[in-house]
Amino acid sequence: MNILLVEDSEDNRQLIDAFLKKTAHRLDMAVDGQQGVNRVKKRRYDLILMDMQMPVMDGYQATRAIRRWELDNALNPTPILALTAHALEGDAEKSIEAGCNEHLTKPIKKKRLLQKVAQYATA
């Protein structure tokens, strides 16, 4: 799978990269939502891992922009998994409302991430 990670924290980018290192998946990275949207407009990904709290453009805005672009261009929606430290009541609904397929909380465990990636690889 071609996976895009949109994450402003270098530590989190390194962690996800390490989790996926020994898999067959290819990981691209963007450091903010705007950069993520720009990358999606240039190439197709099989899965997007989206941090929701970022500077420039947050994950909610980026997800909405990606969904709007996919709709405008008659493209099938790319699965987007929200990755966020926010685990309060209503946070998951906010991610889903923005267009994410799922809401995963950080810190994410390697096993959980690989399970979710595998789930969408077979979808």
* All domains of the chain in start order, with CATH: 2-118 (3.40.50.2300)
- What pLDDT does residue 87 have? 67
At residue 33, does pLDDT exceed 70?
yes
Kindly report the average pLDDT of the chain as a whole number: 94
The least confident of 1-5, 49-53, 91-95, 115-119 is 91-95
pLDDT-based confidence at residue 89 (cuts at 50, 70, 90)? confident
Write the pLDDT tens digit of every residue in 52-62. Answer: 999 899 999 99
d(CA 42, CA 104): 26
Burial category of 25 from C-beta neighbours within 10 Å (exposed 0-12, middle 13-18, buried 19 and up): middle
- What pLDDT does residue 123 have? 65
Whether 54 and 8 have beta carbons less than 8 Å apart is answered as yes
Task: Enter the pTM of the model.
Answer: 0.95
What number of other Cβ atoms are within 10 A of residue 120's Cβ?
18
Mean pLDDT of 16-43: 97
Q: Which neighbouring-strand residues pair with 120?
A: none
What number of other Cβ atoms are within 10 A of residue 73's Cβ?
8
In degrees and rounded to multiples of 5, residue 100 shows phi and psi of -75, 150
